[in-house]
Amino acid sequence: MFKSLLKIFLGANNQNLVVSVDKPTFNDDDRQFMRRALELARQAADNNEVPVGAVLVKSGKIIGEGCNQSIIQSDPTAHAEIQALRNAGKNLNNYRLVDTTLYVSLEPCPMCVGSLIHARVSRVVFAASDLKTGACGSALNLIQDSSHNHRVIVEKGLMAEEASQLISSFFRRRRAEKRLERQDSTKN
Catalytic center residues: 81
Listing DSSP states for 91-151 in one string gives HHT-S---SEEEEEEE---HHHHHHHHHHT--EEEEEE--TTT-TTTTS--GGG-TT-SS-
Q: List, in sequence order, every beta strand (DSSP E) within 22-107.
A: 53-58, 61-67, 100-106
Backbone angles phi, psi at 187, to 5 degrees: -75, -30
Residues in the chain, overall count: 188
CA dihedral 147, 150, 160, 21 (to 10 degrees): 90
16 within 8 A of 40, measured Cβ to Cβ: no
Calculate the CA 101 to chain-centre distance.
10
Strand order in the sheet with 53-58: 61-67, 53-58, 100-106, 123-128, 153-156
Backbone angles phi, psi at 30, to 5 degrees: -55, -45
